[in-house]
């Protein structure tokens, strides 16, 4: 016998219990062989005792209390084996049990939700009950073993099983008389990434005929963007329901291959087939695709921004400042952005004009658990020819830098990170300004082409990656704008339609199973606009404009801008 009251480690050759109530409380480790008859054994007991005379040097007074193990390291540990006779009940409450258990008729073992049993040898039980416990037959120095139970009453029990690739044998759970409960899991994920050649179906669990086929189900494994499930089957045979790993013998093995009627079966299994079959995790792929679609929204919404800056200038020489804010979204995501443009315009008498601007915008797209914070900065050079009436044309080229910081909670958290995109822009617009003198207003139909060339970036997580591809995109924007002068205050209203001529480059979501290519979303939509342009002084102008886009996957609920222009 050896015990350590400080470390709470107790070792006995054998612990014989008869008509005894025995408990192993939190933070204690017991190494022994238990033989219990007509007793109650509780591993992970919440009963604790405090010596109120501790430190006095003489006598002791024990006071009983209760204390549950909260953290993993607080749980009690039992190493050894147990033999149960009579009406013994073994309760694995808040404890880790490493060993085997033999329970004779009339005994029962209970495994609670916070208990774990690592079964290192075959075990036989009369009655086994569990509510959400964990049973693992996959232990160090693993070899195939059986758990045989007369009566099992289990709900949400998680059972980890191993399979020997060399001889196609595995762990097995057999229920002989009665199975009640349900929603129990057989977990074979330790076989993931292994290839097994099974010449015959391998039975992993059995129960009496009439047991629901859903009494056990097989655990799937989420890795990358794929859900992997073992290739299994459930069938009834010889009065039993059998849960099996399906054979996967390649064609020709185990068949008559013309060699005098002999059957050729290799002694050593070949490479075999993967135990797990993959299929797309559609909900996870949808979330990832929506998250990284933010780049498409940001770029397509800003590609014609140079026109707003140029329109604010009104072809008059002088500096300009324009502040903007927008709120919109796509799918489940909302997008908000705000920023500032600063620039200048120089105009000639013949209405040839040119200018430049720089801008910095900050924003974010977000939904529950997913967020993309971004900065969009860059510059534009624009130029054109204009007149009070008739044909006008203008254009612009620019460079922008989009820096995104993805913050993800939940399953895709490993894809959190930073992505930078270089963007080159170019656009051209032509239109006709016609004056209706009787109404003191003008009507301006126009059409513009706007294009971008964007770079690629890649985010790599655990078992998966997201590549946002490089390429170009082109959009056509057509519409009409009406302007009317109300005593020095110009009011504008218009409606435009955006058409996608060449889609944005898409994305590739990859994992070990496959690469999935997705095209970009089309940025087709209508945009309605209304604005006011007025003078504060003879040379100082203020312009306010509101836009809203609708009728497409991308929407802008409200985009507001205020520009200040000084004419020299």
Q: Residue 221: what pLDDT?
A: 92
Give the least confident one: 43-52, 156-165, 353-362: 43-52
Query: For residue 176, is it left (φ>0), alpha (ψ between -120 and 50) or beta?
Result: alpha
Per DSSP, the three-state class of 266 is coil
Q: Are 522 and 551 in contact (CB under 8 A)?
A: no
pLDDT category, 562, cuts 50, 70, 90?
A: confident
268 CB-contact burial (10 Å; exposed 0-12 / middle 13-18 / buried 19+) = exposed
pLDDT band of residue 70 (cuts 50, 70, 90) is low
Beta strands in 183-250 (DSSP E): 184-187, 195-196, 202-208, 216-218, 221-223, 226-230, 232-237, 240-245
Who contacts 505 (Cβ-Cβ below 8 Å, separation ≥6)?
454, 456, 468, 469, 470, 471, 472, 473, 520
Q: What does the pLDDT read at residue 48? A: 60
453 compared with 66, residue with greater pLDDT: 453
Residue 196: which pLDDT band, with cuts at 50, 70 and 90?
A: low
Is 237 a residue whose pLDDT tops 80? Answer: yes
Q: Is the pLDDT of residue 126 over 90?
A: yes
> What are 134-151's pLDDT values in tens digits?
999 999 889 999 999 999
Q: Tens digit of pLDDT for each residue in 362-412?
A: 999 999 999 999 999 999 999 999 888 899 999 999 999 999 999 999 999
Residue 74 CB burial class (10 angstroms; 0-12, 13-18, ≥19)? middle
Is the separation of the CB atoms in 456 and 469 below 8 Å?
yes
Per DSSP, the three-state class of 255 is coil
pLDDT-derived band of residue 4, with 50, 70 and 90 as boundaries?
Answer: very low
Query: Poorest-confidence range of 29-38, 212-221, 308-317, 477-486?
Result: 308-317
pLDDT value at residue 505: 95
Percentage of the chain lying above the pLDDT 70 cut:
87
Among the ranges given (275-284, 329-338, 422-431), the one the predictor scored with the smallest mean pLDDT = 275-284
Residue 400's nearest CA partner among 498, 501, 303, 520 is: 303
Q: Which among 48, 19, 47, 46 is positioned nearest to 35, based on CA atoms?
A: 19
Does position 214 have pLDDT exceeding 60, yes or no? yes
Question: CA triplet 526, 528, 530: central angle to 5 degrees?
Answer: 165
Q: Does the structure show a pLDDT above 50 at 1? A: no
Report the SS3 class of residue 337: strand
Section 35-62 average pLDDT? 74
What confidence tier does 267 reach under pLDDT thresholds 50, 70, 90? very low
Out of 29-33, 119-123, 199-203, 513-517, least confident range: 199-203
What rounded mean pLDDT belongs to the chain? 88
pTM, two decimal places: 0.79
Whether the Cβ atoms of residue 278 and residue 513 lie closer than 8 Å to each other: yes
For residues 158 and 153, give the distance between their C-alpha atoms in angstroms, rounded to a whole number: 13
CATH number of the structural domain 283-566: 2.40.128.130
Q: Lowest mean pLDDT: which of 90-104, 212-226, 269-283, 351-365?
A: 269-283
* Nearest alpha-carbon partner for 184 in 237, 247, 111, 119: 111
d(CA 100, CA 98): 7
In whole angstroms, what is the distance from residue 262 CA to residue 270 CA? 20
Q: Is the pLDDT of residue 128 over 60?
A: yes
Give the whole-angstrom CA distance, residue 280 versus residue 422: 31
pLDDT band for position 310 (50/70/90)? confident
- Stretch (H or E) spanning 10: strand 9-11
Average pLDDT over residues 183-207: 87
Question: What are 505-561's pLDDT values in tens digits?
Answer: 999 999 999 999 999 999 999 999 999 987 777 778 788 899 999 999 999 999 998
Contact 396, 382 (CB under 8 A): yes
Average pLDDT over residues 48-66: 61
More confident residue, 84 or 537: 84
Long-range residue pairs from 112-115, CB within 8 A, at least 24 positions apart, any chain:
112/44, 114/44, 114/69, 114/75, 115/43, 115/44
Quick one: pLDDT at residue 566? 66
Range of lowest pLDDT (21-25, 33-37, 321-325, 533-537):
533-537
Start-to-end Cα distance in the chain? 100
Residue 459, CA distances (Å) to 369, 404, 508 in order? 18, 11, 11
pLDDT of 193 above 90: no
Q: Is the per-residue pLDDT at 65 higher than 60?
A: no
Tokens of 77: 């540990």
Residue ranges per structural domain of the chain: 1-108, 119-280, 283-566
């Amino acid at each position: 016998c050896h015990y350590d009251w400080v470390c709470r480690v107790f070792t006995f050759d054998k612990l014989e219990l008869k008509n005894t109530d025995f408990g192993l409380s939190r933070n204690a480790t017991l190494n022994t062989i238990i033989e219990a008859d007509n007793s109650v054994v509780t591993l992970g007991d919440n009963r604790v005792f405090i010596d109120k005379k501790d430190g006095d040097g003489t006598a002791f007074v024990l006071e009983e209390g209760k204390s549950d193990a909260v953290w993993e390291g607080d749980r009690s540990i039992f190493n050894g084996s147990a033999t149960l006779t009579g009406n013994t009940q073994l309760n694995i409450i808040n404890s880790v049990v490493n060993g085997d258990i033999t329970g004779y008729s009339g005994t029962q073992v209970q495994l609670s939700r916070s208990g774990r049993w690592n079964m290192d040898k075959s075990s036989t039980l009369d009655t086994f009950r569990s509510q959400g416990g964990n049973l693992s037959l996959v232990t160090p120095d693993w070899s195939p073993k059986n758990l045989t139970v007369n009566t099992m009453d289990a709900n949400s029990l998680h059972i980890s099983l191993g399979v020997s690739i060399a001889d196609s044998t595995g762990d097995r759970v057999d229920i002989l008389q009665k199975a009640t409960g349900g929603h129990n899991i057989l977990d074979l994920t330790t076989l993931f990434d292994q290839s097994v050649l099974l010449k015959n179906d391998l039975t992993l669990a059995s129960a009496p005929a009439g047991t629901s086929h859903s009494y056990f189900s097989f655990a799937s494994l989420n890795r990358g963007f794929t859900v992997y499930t073992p290739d299994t089957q459930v069938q009834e045979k010889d009065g039993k329901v059998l849960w099996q790993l399906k054979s996967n013998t390649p064609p020709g093995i185990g068949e008559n291959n013309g060699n005098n009627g002999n059957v050729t079966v290799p002694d050593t299994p070949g490479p075999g087939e993967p135990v797990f079959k993959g299929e797309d995790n559609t909900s996870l792929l949808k979330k990832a695709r929506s998250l990284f679609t933010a780049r498409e929204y940001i770029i397509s919404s800003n590609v014609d921004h140079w026109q707003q800056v140029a329109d604010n200038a009104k072809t008059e020489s002088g500096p300009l400042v324009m502040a903007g804010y927008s709120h919109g979204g796509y799918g489940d995501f909302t997008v908000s952005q705000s920023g500032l443009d600063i620039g200048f315009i120089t105009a000639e008498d013949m209405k040839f004009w040119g200018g430049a601007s720089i801008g910095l915008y900050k924003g974010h797209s977000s939904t529950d658990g997913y967020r993309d914070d971004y900065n969009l900065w860059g510059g534009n050079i624009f130029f054109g020819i204009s007149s009070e009436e008739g044909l006008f044309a203008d254009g612009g080229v620019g460079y922008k830098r989009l820096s995104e910081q993805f913050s993800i909670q939940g399953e895709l958290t490993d894809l959190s990170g930073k992505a930078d995109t270089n963007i080159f822009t170019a656009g051209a617009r032509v239109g006709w300004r016609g004056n209706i003198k009787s109404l003191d207003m003008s009507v301006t139909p126009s059409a513009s082409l706007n294009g971008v060339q964007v770079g690629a970036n890649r985010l790599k997580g655990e078992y998966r990656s997201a590549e946002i591809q490089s390429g170009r995109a082109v959009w056509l924007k057509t519409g009409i704008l009406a302007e009317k002068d109300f005593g020095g205050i110009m009011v504008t209203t218009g409606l435009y339609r955006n058409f996608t001529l060449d889609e944005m480059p898409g994305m590739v979501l990859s994992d070990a199973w496959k690469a999935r290519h997705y095209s970009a979303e089309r940025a087709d939509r209508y945009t309605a606009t209304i604005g006011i342009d007025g003078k504060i002084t003879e040379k100082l102008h203020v312009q306010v404009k509101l836009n809203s886009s609708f009728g497409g996957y991308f929407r802008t609920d409200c985009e507001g801008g205020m520009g200040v222009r000084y004419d020299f």
